[in-house]
């Protein structure tokens, strides 16, 4: 297994956890906040999708799929307080976009040579935490895991079984 394949496998593990945590949730559940002050799952899913597109296009210009009009704005930091259902999608819409973006990331990392992963991160303000191109691909692969921990309390509140 080379570095790109290891990153792809890491992303696949993240995707398995995301799918398990979302499998039995309804569209309306996505607009519930896990706790006061937390972002609801719809915003978090949109944030994951938009952030991955942004980082993917930074690492491999033009590789990310286009997102629907208004999507980035509705899932921006400025929109975290919005509970307006018209600004958010259905679970299936999020899952479809998520899969498209993850497939684009999978293809992009497959095309990268191991030696390219050591290049400096092109996003200078991220270099302190993610110094290389490789570390940015790892960020894309693991970013969903930073969010799913917030989903467990909501699942418990909804009476859902332990997902994994």
How much of the chain, in percent, has pLDDT values that exceed 90?
96
Residue 85: predicted pLDDT: 96
Residue 14: predicted pLDDT: 97
| Cα–Cα dist 25/163, whole Å | 11
pLDDT tens figures, 73-129:
999 999 999 999 999 999 999 999 999 999 999 999 999 999 999 999 999 999 999
Long-range contacts of 145-149 (CB under 8 A, 24+ apart): 145/14, 145/17, 147/44, 147/47, 147/48, 148/17, 148/18, 148/21
Structure pTM?
Answer: 0.95
State the greatest distance between any 2 C-alpha atoms of the chain, in Å, as a whole number. Answer: 48
Where do the domains of the chain lie, and which CATH numbers do they carry? 3-157 (1.20.120.450)
């Amino acid at each position: 297994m080379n570095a790109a394949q290891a990153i792809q496998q890491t992303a696949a593990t993240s995707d398995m956890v995301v799918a398990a945590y979302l499998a039995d949730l309804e569209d309306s559940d996505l607009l519930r906040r896990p706790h006061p002050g937390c972002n609801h799952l719809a915003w978090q899913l949109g944030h994951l999708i938009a952030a991955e597109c942004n980082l993917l296009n930074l690492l491999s210009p033009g590789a990310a799929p286009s997102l629907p009009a208004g999507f980035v704005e509705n899932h921006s930091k400025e929109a975290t307080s919005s509970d307006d259902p018209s600004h958010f999608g259905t679970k299936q819409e999020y899952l479809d976009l998520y899969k498209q973006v993850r497939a684009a990331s999978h293809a992009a990392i497959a095309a990268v040579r191991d030696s390219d992963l050591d290049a400096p991160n092109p996003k200078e303000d991220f270099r302190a935490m993610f110094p290389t191109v490789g570390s940015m691909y790892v960020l894309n692969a693991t970013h969903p895991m930073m969010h799913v921990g917030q989903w467990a309390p909501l699942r418990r509140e909804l009476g859902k079984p332990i997902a994994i």
